[in-house]
Structure 1
Amino acid sequence: MTQPASQQRIYCGIDTHADTHDAAVITDTGILVEHRRFDATPTGYQELTTWMYEHGEPISVGIEGTSSYGAGIARHLHRHNIRVLEVPRPNRQLRRNKGKSDPIDAETAARAVLARHQLSEPKHGDGPIEAIRALRVARSSAVKAATASMNALRGLIVTAPDELRTQLRGHSTTALLDACIALEADATQLTDPTHATVLALRSLARRTRELRREASELKRHLAKLVDEVAPRTSAVFGLGPDTTAVLLVTVGDNPGRLKSESSFGTSAASHRFPHHLARPTAIVSTAAATDAPTRHCTPASSSASGTAPRPAPTPIAARQRGKRCLRSSAAKSAILPGKSSPPSETITAH
């Protein structure tokens, strides 16, 4: 690693793309030093790192898109013990005033790090959780493709010739696939709608069968990997391999970036709305739902604030809310370390 030519402290911003990355360096007082373009390759990553150290000691590097085009450079900088932060996209007002260009976006990313504006620590993406994410992407794609293929097969049967539709009517999904695969079509008579439909149905059935087999195989690998990486989380009641994989991918390979349950809820998009922005809910009488008189009480906090007490939930709503709270609490205690929860498991591959 090249040592810094000067001892000035610098910030760097990187605007990422598929083939090239634009980087800008500013001092800790906000003075633009230089900006340059590098290739999005391992050689380009090393050149970018060396170029940064030539201008000073990097404090932090702001990258736009650490989960897409910036994943490679983020991993490279992390391996070199350089702090990486995710920066948001430039707002429209700034783009309208200063224009839109890659050097401007890189400089804006560097100034966002200097100002500490809407920063977040990105996922490292270099551990077993990244392996789980890759398997989830492949399986989700296979499941969606199998569903689309099966829907196309059923839609084709609806408009098929009468004798063919009668032959395939009333079958279960597995039996329908077997029946369509067993159909014989004459390739020399494809001008006949019946033979062409038979050929199309057999092709769709084979495709659906293969995609389902692939999805099942990926699910077995995913379940095995999830059990090895996070056995405590997998043991939580009600969490299957798919749900557990989603939770682990949300946390990432560096769970220390989530400082509290609130930050975990924000990452999972399950945080609560502010009270004054919450939509009003319908008020249902508890007495009418339970055929029992309701005792009215005024909490001290409500009287002091001058607001009306919140209506009591219905029995069904209370049970549903209790189940959600129980499952959420169990999942959080299994993933996030806390004072009231047992020590969190170490996410390592065995």
Structure 2
Amino acid sequence: MNRKNEPNAGSVVGGVDTHKDLYVAAVVDHKDRVLGTRSFPSTRQGYRQMLAWMRSLGELQRVGVESTGSYGAGLLRFMQQAGVTVLEVTAPDKQDRRKRGMNDDLDAQNAAHAAFAGKRTVTPRSRDGMIEALRVLVACRKTAITARRVALQMIHNTIVAAPDGLRDQLRVMTRMQLVRTLAASRPDLTAYRDVEAAYRISLKSLGRRYLELHDEIADLDAMIAAIVKELAPNLIARNSISYVGGAQLLLTAGGNPERMRSEASFAALCGVSPVPASSGKTLRHRLNRGGDRAANSALHIIAIGRLRTDQRTKDFVARRIAEGHSKLDAIRALKRYLAREVFTLIRQRQLEINASRIAA
């Protein structure tokens, strides 16, 4: 741990094990000795009581919190507004857990020990502002797309097993023609005991469900596009970067991209950084299979789009192939360059936003 961040005499470090309705907090002193462990409700009043208790034991230097993206999101916002440095504590050490066992008190103490030592900790993404609004909308859109796909699959599966007359009538239609026809149909709802009537009622319900989800996704797309356009117009102005892809890359960077020290950190976060895999006289790198796979997918879509439309990208891939690399290896290298480009654009826009806030 960096000595300038090492707790001084009289200072304390906190740790919190988060749950849906209850938080367990622990505090260690400047020598990493446990001073106490207490439980608090996961409410604003509980947040205030927890912070007051931690500060009563000494000068609170920082707090390690588990699950800042879910159960600990509210606590993260409260602590940041109170001016407390918060570190996200990652999964506990398995070997240590096997030795000491597991309960909420031990988990909270382990979080405090990790925050004290600066191990298994990262700077959490901020959970306020437009990036958080974008995250919620994107998550909602994702589930709506999944539900729409399931509705369409159910429509086709139902038609396959439908009575011949109904099946022959519907199977020749295009997707949207089929969906709109089903949604506008008027089956006899009182004849649901009849097989064909039951099929017609079911298909009408599925058709209406599909159209409702289709309209919901369109509304969400408009909101997402408006936020992305405001947050990063320089990003979506680039070739092959869509609003959905740009939104995902903004979410991966977070509302505080300054927490990443370099573009290499962003590349690793997106899973496009090369990982050394050398042994003996063999020098090689392998594909990074970690990181945010949604961001990796967004970069892959951008790479494929540019490979079709951008001459410089075509020349780059052709040159890599001529050097003996496979096309997949060339695309992986291209994604690494794209991560650098995206990160530079996001950081540039973040600096502009911060400068405008200071000026205001």
Distance, in Å, in 1 between the alignment partners of 2:267 and 2:38 is 38
Distance, in Å, in 2 between the alignment partners of 1:201 and 1:66 is 43
SS, match of residue 346 in structure 1: helix
Aligned twin of 1:346: 353
Aligned twin of 1:33: 35
Of 299, 311, 328 in structure 1, the residue corresponding to residue 339 of structure 2 is 328
Compute the displacement of 1:322 (Å).
7.0
Distance, in Å, in 2 between the alignment partners of 1:131 and 1:343 is 17
CA RMSD of aligned residues (A): 2.6
Deviations 1:263-316 (A, max 9, x none): 112222222221327459xxxxxxxxxxxxxxxxxxxxxxxxxxxxx9923685
Kept in 1: contact 2:263–2:344 (CA 8 A) = no
* Distance of aligned partners of 1:334 and 1:33 in 2 relative to their CA distance in 1, 3 Å threshold: same
How do 1:251-330 residues align onto structure 2 when only pairs under 5 Å count?
A: 251-276=253-278, 278=285, 312-313=323-324, 320=331, 324=335, 327-330=338-341
* Distance of aligned partners of 1:188 and 1:66 in 2 relative to their CA distance in 1, 3 Å threshold: same
How do 1:198-277 residues align onto structure 2 when only pairs under 5 Å count?
A: 198-276=200-278
Kept in 2: contact 1:230–1:345 (CA 8 A) = no
Give unpaired runs (5+ residues) of structure 2. Answer: 1-7, 279-283, 288-320
After superposing on structure 2, the runs of 4+ consecutive aligned residues of structure 1 that deviate more than 6 Å are 347-350
* Distance of aligned partners of 1:328 and 1:26 in 2 relative to their CA distance in 1, 3 Å threshold: closer
Number of residues paired by the alignment?
Answer: 312
Letter in 2 for 1:244: G
Deviations 1:108-160 (A, max 9, x none): 00001112112110011111111111110111111111111111111111111
Deviates more, 1:229-238 or 1:200-209: 229-238
Aligned twin of 1:116: 118
Q: Which has the higher contact order (CA 8 A, sep 6+)?
A: 1
TM-score, normalized by length of structure 2? 0.80
Letter in 2 for 1:346: I
Determine which structure has the larger helix proportion and give its number. Answer: 2
Letter in 2 for 1:161: P
Give unpaired runs (5+ residues) of structure 1. Answer: 1-5, 281-309
Compute the displacement of 1:343 (Å).
8.6
Deviates more, 1:222-231 or 1:13-22: 222-231
* Distance of aligned partners of 1:279 and 1:11 in 2 relative to their CA distance in 1, 3 Å threshold: closer
Compute the displacement of 1:344 (Å).
4.8
SS, match of residue 208 in structure 1: helix
TM-score, normalized by length of structure 1? 0.83
Distance, in Å, in 1 between the alignment partners of 2:324 and 2:346 is 30
Deviations 1:25-54 (A, max 9, x none): 110101111110001001100111111110
Letter in 1 for 2:122: S
* Distance of aligned partners of 1:326 and 1:57 in 2 relative to their CA distance in 1, 3 Å threshold: closer
* Distance of aligned partners of 1:182 and 1:229 in 2 relative to their CA distance in 1, 3 Å threshold: same
User: Is 1:127 matched with 2:134?
Assistant: no
Deviations 1:221-271 (A, max 9, x none): 110111011111121211110011011111111111011112112222222
Distance, in Å, in 2 between the alignment partners of 1:318 and 1:43 is 54
Deviates more, 1:130-139 or 1:314-323: 314-323
How do 1:71-220 residues align onto structure 2 when only pairs under 5 Å count?
A: 71-220=73-222
* Distance of aligned partners of 1:90 and 1:152 in 2 relative to their CA distance in 1, 3 Å threshold: same
Distance, in Å, in 1 between the alignment partners of 2:210 and 2:231 is 31
Larger radius of gyration between Structure 1 and Structure 2: 1
Distance, in Å, in 2 between the alignment partners of 1:28 and 1:114 is 8
Report % sequence identity.
Answer: 33
Aligned twin of 2:56: 54
Distance, in Å, in 2 between the alignment partners of 1:17 and 1:37 is 11
Aligned twin of 2:302: none
Distance, in Å, in 1 between the alignment partners of 2:325 and 2:274 is 21
